[in-house]
Amino acid sequence: MLTVPAHVPVMLERCLEVLGPALEAPGAVVVDATLGLGGHSEALLARFPGVRLVALDRDQQALELAGRRLAPYRDRVHRVHAVYDELPRVLAELGLPRVQGVLFDLGVSSMQLDRAERGFAYAQDAPLDMRMDQSTGISAAEVLNTYPPGELVRILRGYGEERYARKIVEAVVRERAREPFTTSARLVELIRQALPQAAKRTGGNPAKRTFQALRIEVNAELAVLERAIPAGVAALAVGGRIAVLSYHSLEDRLVKQVFAAGAASTAPPDLPVVPERYQPRLRLLTRGAEHPTADEVADNRRAAPARLRAAQRVREEQV
């Protein structure tokens, strides 16, 4: 039986602080769109005794483990096996046209990183899988072994921001013709050999950008996020709040764009008075992206790249 690993939720107090004012009323509903191991959800349920939780995750192991963590609150929890861009369908099936809070904690969960067999961590030799939902989709090994070279270059450049994408892909194509890739250690060693010496002296493990790119491709993370953040905003009742934790610039850029568009007037220029229908739908609750404190990073190194953005729904759509 799976055991619940130790888990430190990222920027927990700040997330509770930005979501809290919308969750005080009895019967308020909060969505944890990326349940993971349930640390944020557990804290929300404990801090706000009247709140009901809808929790989504594409990872069935995470749902099982989080269910044990949340067992004391089971009467207020509805867990759903779903990807977070399926939020509109989930809420419709539950008869919830609007909610008071939405939380996204993006990226890879601690459980996925710590279980070597999932293949997310470049520091451990494991099967090259990287699927957040192991019941569907193609693995990272399949991507490496079957994608055309040009497509692999696009993925490493676009999703990993890897400046040496072409060198790495040339080595991958040469090696996969000799023997298909199956494990992470072989890929890590190939990347080390393909990169110039200067590129290996700074920036941590030289494989991290390639692993990030493969993970994003395998799980269609950016395409899902492009649908999920607007869906999260649309699900909010007036006064409701949304908080998003992202872990790399590609995610954060998407969140920033959606929030900025919602917080801007859509009125044509030069109108002397802006009608209600053109007024902003959102009020930004964070000044840019907030970062974890130095103390938090010292306690939890995985919090270091986190960026938090939050917003409040201030009016309904006008048609």
Please state, as a whole number, how many other Cβ atoms lie within 10 Å of the Cβ of residue 281: 21
Nearest to 181 by CA among 147, 221, 133, 134: 147
Residue for token digits 């000044």?
Answer: 287
| Angle subtended by helix axes 221-234 and 208-219, to nearest 10 | 60
Give Cα separations from 254 to 234, 249, 251, 276, 314 (angstroms): 16, 9, 5, 26, 21
H or E, element range at 112: helix 110-114
Q: Which residues pair with 313 in a beta bridge?
A: 282
Measured distance CA(53)–CA(56) in Å, rounded: 10
According to the annotation, is 39 in a ligand binding site? Answer: yes
According to the annotation, is 85 in a ligand binding site? Answer: no
According to the annotation, is 112 in a ligand binding site? Answer: yes
According to the annotation, is 147 in a ligand binding site? Answer: no
Q: Which residues pair with 184 in a beta bridge?
A: none
Annotated binding site: 38-40, 57, 84, 105, 112
* Binding-site residues for S-adenosyl-L-methionine: 38-40, 57, 84, 105, 112
